[in-house]
Amino acid sequence: HRRFDYRPKTDPYCQARYTFCPTGSAIPLMKEEDVIEVYRLQAPVWEFKYGDLLGHLKIMHDAVGFRSSLTGKNYTMEWYELFQLGNCTFPHLRPGIDAPFWCNQGAACFYEGIDDAHWKENGTLVLVTTISGDMFNEMAQWVKYDNETGIYYETWTVQASPDKQSTVWFDSYECSKFILRTYQKLADLGAVFKKIQTNYTSIILFSGEPIYLGNETSIFGPLGNKTLAAAIRDFYSPFKPHQTVREFFVDLVRIIDRVILNHQFYFFYNLEYWLLPMKFPYLKIIYEEVPLPVGSKESFNV
């Protein structure tokens, strides 16, 4: 996933149904002698609205919790879409604008408190490691860098087949990937993680080798490819970004239907368009184990 130099200003056209990070706060500076417990948090996506519905489908949202031994304060940190999932997955087709218009950004949110009931009831709240105040402060610096340079949310993982060793053409970039990066950073700083099983959700498309089509200018610009531009717009036309969860899943079924009929999926990744020659089983939602990290060799000499 490409890193960018800065986060672009959001277009006023992009409106969120729910405010992003409403109670967010700055990450505090911890005292170096503090001992901070680190918790793995996981619960079904959209649980606040739909209860455990998506828990049965194993579509989970991940976060990380911290507890300071010195102050007794708890904190939650997570990474999610600024304009909800539909906007990160599908573009808007705006009248008078030829190119599909993407309202797509994801970012970290840090706030005081851990909603114990939310994570425990249908999900997970488990201690994974303890770190020093210094390690926490270094992690906070890294979060700032990660947040300023990794700005686009990516719903799909694209790989060649369901086989474990299969080629991954494109990797997703969503809430769980941020948590995995955070854990890895802590491990590299010297954190030692407990030996517990940790599973994460992936939404996978299966495709032969992707075909590069170009960027917005080369396809939709004045010298663009009119036929290709029309095909991409047509592909995205049934999907609406501003929608309820139910509509999102109805659209997902529509996509699968189109994709299976035509074996094609127009894919937008790092500001470029690709054609995916889709193949069976086309799309799968999996919930699989990703082990907690082991630090790099030098971290044990800290």
pLDDT in tens, 263-275: 999 999 999 999 9
Residue 10: Cβ within 10 Å count: 14
Longest dimension (CA), the chain: 63
Residue numbers annotated as active site:
61, 175
Kindly state whether residue 226 falls inside one of the protein's structural domains: no
Residue range 155-184: mean pLDDT, rounded: 94
pLDDT value at residue 261: 81
Cβ–Cβ under 8 Å, residues 191 and 123: no
- Domain of 139, in residue numbers: 35-156+170-199
Q: Is residue 228 part of a domain?
A: no
Nearest to 176 by CA among 24, 41, 46, 296: 41
Q: Answer yes or no: are the C-beta atoms of 213 and 273 closer than 8 Å.
A: yes
The reported pLDDT for the residue numbered 58 is 67
Is position 143 within any domain?
yes
48 by Cβ neighbours in 10 Å (0-12 / 13-18 / 19+) ranks as exposed
Quick check: is 280 in a domain? no
pLDDT at 44 (0 to 100): 81
Q: How many domains does the chain have?
A: 1
> Which pair of structure tokens corresponds to residue 68?
């300071």
Q: How far apart are CA 140 and CA 30, in angstroms?
A: 10
**Does the residue 251 lie in any domain?**
no
Average pLDDT over residues 49-75: 79
> CB within 8 A of 152, min separation 6: which ones?
1, 4, 88, 104, 105, 106, 173, 270, 271
What is the helix (H) or strand (E) element at residue 106, kind and residue range?
Answer: strand 106-112
Amino acid at 63: A
Do the Cβ atoms of 65 and 114 come closer than 8 Å?
yes
The pLDDT of residue 299 = 42
Q: Is residue 19 part of a domain?
A: no
Say if 12 falls within a structural domain.
no
Residue 240 lies in a domain: no
Q: Taking phi first (over 0 means left), then psi (-120 to 50 degrees means alpha), and beta for anything else, what does residue 77 get?
A: beta
Residue 301 pLDDT > 60: no
